Chain A
Amino acid sequence: MKNFTRFVFPALVIMSLLLSACGSQPTATQPPAATQAPAGQSPAETQAPASGDNACPAGVEGAVLEMWSPFTGPDGDEMTALAERFSQENPCGVTVTHIAQPEYVQKLEAAAAAGQLPAMTAVRAINVAQLAARNVLKPFSNEAMAVFGEEIAGDLPEDLWNVGLYKEERYSFPLDVHPLVMFYNKDLFAAAGIEEPGSEPWTREQFEDALSKLEASGVTPLSLGTAFQGAALWQALIRQYGGSLTDEAGTTATYNSEAGVQALERIKELRDKYTPEISGGGDPEVNVFKQGDVGMTFHGPWWISDLQKLDFVGFAPLPTLGNQPATWGGSHQLGFTTDDPTTQAAGALWIKWLSDNSMEWAKAGQVPARQSVRNDPALAEAAFPISRVAESANIVVILAQVPALEPALWDHFGPVVDAYLAGDVADPKAALDEAARKSQQVMDENVSIYE
């Protein structure tokens, strides 16, 4: 990797300077490049007029930016391919350096301390505030915002767009969503006479109906585990019962509400009634489901690329288990680690291009943030499972953008959810009260540190 940054990267810079397409060459070469885009790229095409006039902000031609990404699976290969395509089609280029999780954030912070930061990075939405407060992410310059134009915000779910704001400045741009979704067994559904769900979340009645039909047909209806799955489902259900993890500002823990208790009791009821015994590490509830004897399970879309190899697996948004649709989810965002306005403008060009082409990103197993891409009928052909769960983007619950908020909450409610589901907690209200009190201590300390 060192060789890469020392030799290949400068070589790329020099080469792209020599071969610079923008400015030095007649602009007539631009339209053919645009038409080379594969068919089915309607979002890119429909917005071509908007991006066409400012395709090359002053001073960015020939620039090659380095972006860090935490995508080290197949999605990483897709990201690299997209960066190469962007670099060919545009006056400036991007190289993507994949940095292995875990501790991606710590690696960014260490690079910041050592003055080795790249120009930009992909980052999970829940980390944006902390990275902004600790001077790793830099606010978007006016030059960068100008590249996006005014309309783009309207094409993104409001929560996802707003989560990029910290202290009223923009620090990140939403690329995708990863919601908790439903995986179901088509064969078992057919045998039980259940109509397969569509792209809208099932209502509670439809879900209950499926449970009883599966039970009547003699199969285990549901696979529910603990750990991540339990805690993520519980966060979804709090919202489904009308509660929330925190107040709107993200400064008061509110998960010990009536909704929090209801959500816990609901998951336990479903587990006790409909779920087989599940143990072991590495998402055991999905492994049980993969064996083909269980009707449905809920998990993150990162399981899609694996599960779509099995013919019997169907994909749908998380059903309504409580009173209203909602799901847990996270979002990959793109942000700058440099405050140089020209570099940012070039980076913004890439961000916008990537967002416009997020149909391709859906193929890597991510739900695009852009409404127009999710609504595009071509999505079903490009990435069928993603098209089935894409509507989740509108019901995803996103935490407020407060530094280190997620660990302050999850570190304390996580063990309570696990213990209650294991039957080790008799009084869920008291346990949640105690957890919320501890969360509040950490949140108060975080406020005093970062305000």
Chain B
Amino acid sequence: MTAKIESLGPPASRRPRKKVSIIPYLFVAPHLLFFVAFLAWPFFYGIYISLFRFDFLRPDNRPFVGLRNYANLFNPESVQFDKFWNALSNTGEFMLWSVAPLVGIALLLAVLLNRNYRGRGVFRTIFFAPYTLSVTVASVLWWWIFQQTGIVNQTIQAFGLKPVNWLGDMPGAWVAITICTIWWTIGFNTVIFLTALQEIPKSLYEAASLDGADSWQQFFLITVPMLRSVLVFVLTITLIASANLFGQPYIMTGGGPADGTQTVIHRIFFEGMLRGQMGTAAAMSIFVAVLLLSLTYLNFKFFGQTEER
């Protein structure tokens, strides 16, 4: 998004003109200002921090350690190794749990909400509404629901089954966190799909039905191919959002049981804020950012191929 807006500037100036117009830059400026202040500068400062043993409360005690903070992430004998890789694999596990439903169910909902029936607007509002809540509200709500004596267990018991320790056991904790996340964020993906669906010309479906295609064929042969670029986009932002999971396990399980739902962002927070080791925390962040960039690149390379060329 950002790159596109910025690229509007240079072409204007490349035209053979004597005077460079300042207008395009003024248009870009408000965004650029915040982009630099809150993204670019912190990112490069993060790289700088990651080269030191950095404690923000001890400015007189910040030795330069070179790449040692990065090396520690790959050294099984280091303090950080076990917990960092445990957190990284937890995050990967959550992505396995969450990405497919977040994309699949959102697409299904969008198709349903795109039909013509009474009260469509109401349903659209209802499905999008949770997205407007803060992570704290959503998490505390589901934390309550999944309590030992919460509504889920009460319902289960009403059917004569044994209650489940959702938040204190595996895989109950992941189930609870995943359901919370889907409920909370699915509205966003749904709205994007919905917008894209409305862009597909009706004539395609009319032509297909004249040719005798049933609704499944219409879905897989018209809807899905027409949504390809949007699918790649939604898949990418969902992958990134899932990799950035923090609030839900932080509030619902505290990272437990036995660090089983401690995500990589939680680990970075722990290392930087609780242990005060900003240097290693920054190195972890940079490493995770590189991982996500590679993932996004692969995503576009494999799923976005035809669209790109």
Chain A residues in contact with chain B, CB under 8 A? 103, 106, 109, 112-113, 130, 133-136, 279-282, 284, 404, 407, 415, 418-419, 438, 441-442, 445, 449
Would you call B275 an interface residue if the criterion is a C-beta within 8 Å of the partner chain's C-beta atoms? Answer: yes
**Can you name the residue of chain A whose Cβ is closest to the Cβ of B167?**
A281
Q: Is the CB of B57 within 8 A of A135?
A: yes
**Can you name the residue of chain B whose Cβ is closest to the Cβ of A280?**
B148
Contact of B258 among A103, A112, A282, A418 (CB under 8 A): A418
Question: What separation, in Å, do the CA atoms of A351 and B47 have in the docked complex?
Answer: 44
What are 16 pairs between A and B in contact, CB < 8 Å?
A: A103-B273, A109-B57, A133-B58, A134-B55, A134-B58, A134-B276, A135-B57, A279-B165, A280-B148, A281-B147, A404-B275, A407-B275, A415-B258, A415-B259, A442-B79, A449-B277
Q: Is the CB of A438 within 8 A of B82?
A: yes
Contact of A106 among B168, B258, B259, B273 (CB under 8 A): B273
Question: What separation, in Å, do the CA atoms of A134 and B54 have in the docked complex?
Answer: 12
Question: What separation, in Å, do the CA atoms of A130 and B56 have in the docked complex?
Answer: 13
Would you call B77 an interface residue if the criterion is a C-beta within 8 Å of the partner chain's C-beta atoms? Answer: yes
Other than A281-B168, A282-B148, give 6 A-B pairs with Cβ distance below 8 A. A133-B58, A280-B148, A281-B147, A281-B167, A415-B259, A441-B78
Report B-chain residues with C-beta under 8 Å of the C-beta of A415: 258-259
Report A-chain residues with C-beta under 8 Å of the C-beta of B56: 113
Residues from 38 to 81 in B contacting A, C-beta threshold 8 Å: 53, 55-58, 77-79
Q: Is the CB of A279 within 8 A of B168?
A: yes
Report B-chain residues with C-beta under 8 Å of the C-beta of A441: 77-79
**Can you name the residue of chain B whose Cβ is closest to the Cβ of A281?**
B168
Question: What separation, in Å, do the CA atoms of A106 and B274 have in the docked complex?
Answer: 7
Question: What separation, in Å, do the CA atoms of A134 and B274 have in the docked complex?
Answer: 12
SS class, residues of chain A in contact with chain B = helix
Report A-chain residues with C-beta under 8 Å of the C-beta of B55: 134, 449
Report B-chain residues with C-beta under 8 Å of the C-beta of A282: 148
Nearest Cβ distance between residue A279 and chain B, in whole angstroms? 5
Binary flags per residue of B244-268, CB closer than 8 Å to A gives 1, else 0: 0000000000000011000000000
Q: Is the CB of B79 within 8 A of A136?
A: no
Report B-chain residues with C-beta under 8 Å of the C-beta of A449: 53, 55, 277
Report B-chain residues with C-beta under 8 Å of the C-beta of A407: 274-275
Question: What separation, in Å, do the CA atoms of A282 and B253 have in the docked complex?
Answer: 12
Question: What separation, in Å, do the CA atoms of A106 and B55 have in the docked complex?
Answer: 13
- With an 8 Å Cβ cutoff, the count of chain B residues facing the other chain is 21
Contact of A113 among B57, B82, B165, B258 (CB under 8 A): B57
Question: What separation, in Å, do the CA atoms of A178 and B52 have in the docked complex?
Answer: 39
Binary flags per residue of B204-236, CB closer than 8 Å to A gives 1, else 0: 000000000000000000000000000000000
Nearest Cβ distance between residue B260 and chain A, in whole angstroms? 10
Q: Is the CB of B258 within 8 A of A445?
A: no
**Can you name the residue of chain B whose Cβ is closest to the Cβ of A102?**
B254
Q: Is the CB of B274 within 8 A of A280?
A: no
Report B-chain residues with C-beta under 8 Å of the C-beta of A445: 79
Known: A109-B276, A438-B82, A445-B79. A134 touches B57 (CB 8 A): yes
Q: Report the 7 A-B pairs with minimum CB-CB distance, sorted nearest first.
A: A280-B148, A134-B57, A445-B79, A442-B79, A441-B79, A415-B258, A106-B273
Report B-chain residues with C-beta under 8 Å of the C-beta of A133: 58
Output the residue of B53, B77, B148 with the most chain A CB within 10 A.
B148
Nearest Cβ distance between residue A356 and chain B, in whole angstroms? 33
Question: What separation, in Å, do the CA atoms of A136 and B57 have in the docked complex?
Answer: 8
Report A-chain residues with C-beta under 8 Å of the C-beta of B277: 449
Nearest Cβ distance between residue B90 and chain A, in whole angstroms? 15
Nearest Cβ distance between residue B280 and chain A, in whole angstroms? 10
Question: What separation, in Å, do the CA atoms of A135 and B276 have in the docked complex?
Answer: 12
Report B-chain residues with C-beta under 8 Å of the C-beta of A419: 258
Q: Is the CB of B57 within 8 A of A280?
A: no
Question: What separation, in Å, do the CA atoms of A284 and B167 have in the docked complex?
Answer: 14
Nearest Cβ distance between residue A150 and chain B, in whole angstroms? 34
Report A-chain residues with C-beta under 8 Å of the C-beta of B274: 103, 106, 407
**Can you name the residue of chain A whose Cβ is closest to the Cβ of B57?**
A134
**Can you name the residue of chain A whose Cβ is closest to the Cβ of B80?**
A445
Q: Is the CB of B168 within 8 A of A135?
A: no
Report A-chain residues with C-beta under 8 Å of the C-beta of B148: 279-282, 284
Report B-chain residues with C-beta under 8 Å of the C-beta of A135: 57-58
Q: Is the CB of B165 within 8 A of A112?
A: no
Output the residue of A284, A407, A418, A449 with the most chain B CB within 10 A.
A449
Question: What separation, in Å, do the CA atoms of A237 and B132 have in the docked complex?
Answer: 50
**Can you name the residue of chain B whose Cβ is closest to the Cβ of A424?**
B258
Nearest Cβ distance between residue A282 and chain B, in whole angstroms? 8
Report B-chain residues with C-beta under 8 Å of the C-beta of A418: 258
Binary flags per residue of B270-303, CB closer than 8 Å to A gives 1, else 0: 0001111100000000000000000000000000
Question: What separation, in Å, do the CA atoms of A134 and B57 have in the docked complex?
Answer: 6
Question: What separation, in Å, do the CA atoms of A280 and B147 have in the docked complex?
Answer: 8
Nearest Cβ distance between residue A22 and chain B, in whole angstroms? 36
Nearest Cβ distance between residue A232 and chain B, in whole angstroms? 17
Report B-chain residues with C-beta under 8 Å of the C-beta of A106: 273-274
Residues from 162 to 211 in B contacting A, C-beta threshold 8 Å: 165, 167-168
Question: What separation, in Å, do the CA atoms of A281 and B173 have in the docked complex?
Answer: 12
Question: What separation, in Å, do the CA atoms of A113 and B56 have in the docked complex?
Answer: 7
Report B-chain residues with C-beta under 8 Å of the C-beta of A113: 56-57
**Can you name the residue of chain B whose Cβ is closest to the Cβ of A130?**
B276
Report B-chain residues with C-beta under 8 Å of the C-beta of A130: 276
**Can you name the residue of chain A whose Cβ is closest to the Cβ of B147?**
A281
Known: A134-B55, A136-B57, A445-B79. A280 touches B168 (CB 8 A): yes
Nearest Cβ distance between residue A44 and chain B, in whole angstroms? 38
